[in-house]
């Protein structure tokens, strides 16, 4: 199974690098995992470094460090269908 790393980008130039990664079947599973982790951080974590979790993004990278997908924390909130 491929190894995906969820690097947390917060602020303009700050990145918390995921040193371990997670073995997941594919990029869709990595995105779902990132959204679950983002929801958990929003609900459970207070941080002096991060004032607004909704401005953060998980950058999913492969073992070679290549950016595969960016998952904004704002994606944890479903869009409204109000017309």
Lowest-confidence region among 30-34, 43-47, 54-58, 67-71: 43-47
* Average pLDDT value for the chain: 88
Phi-psi region of 59 (alpha: psi -120 to 50; beta: other; left: phi over 0): beta
What's the pLDDT score for residue 11? Answer: 76
Phi, psi angles (nearest 5°) of residue 38: -65, -45
Q: Model-level pTM greater than 0.75?
A: yes
Q: What is the pLDDT of residues 4-33, one digit of tens each?
A: 999 999 877 899 999 999 999 999 999 999
Contact 30, 69 (CB under 8 A): yes
What's the pLDDT score for residue 81? Answer: 57
Residue 42 banded pLDDT, cuts 50, 70, 90? confident
């Amino acid at each position: 199974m491929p190894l995906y790393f969820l690097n947390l980008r917060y602020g303009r130039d700050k990145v918390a690098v995921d040193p371990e990664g997670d073995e997941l079947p594919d990029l869709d599973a990595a995105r779902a995992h990132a959204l679950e982790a983002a929801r958990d951080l929003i609900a459970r974590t207070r941080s002096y470094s991060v004032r607004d979790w909704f401005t953060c993004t998980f950058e999913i990278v492969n073992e070679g460090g290549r950016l595969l997908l960016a998952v904004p924390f704002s994606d944890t909130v479903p869009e409204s269908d109000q017309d």
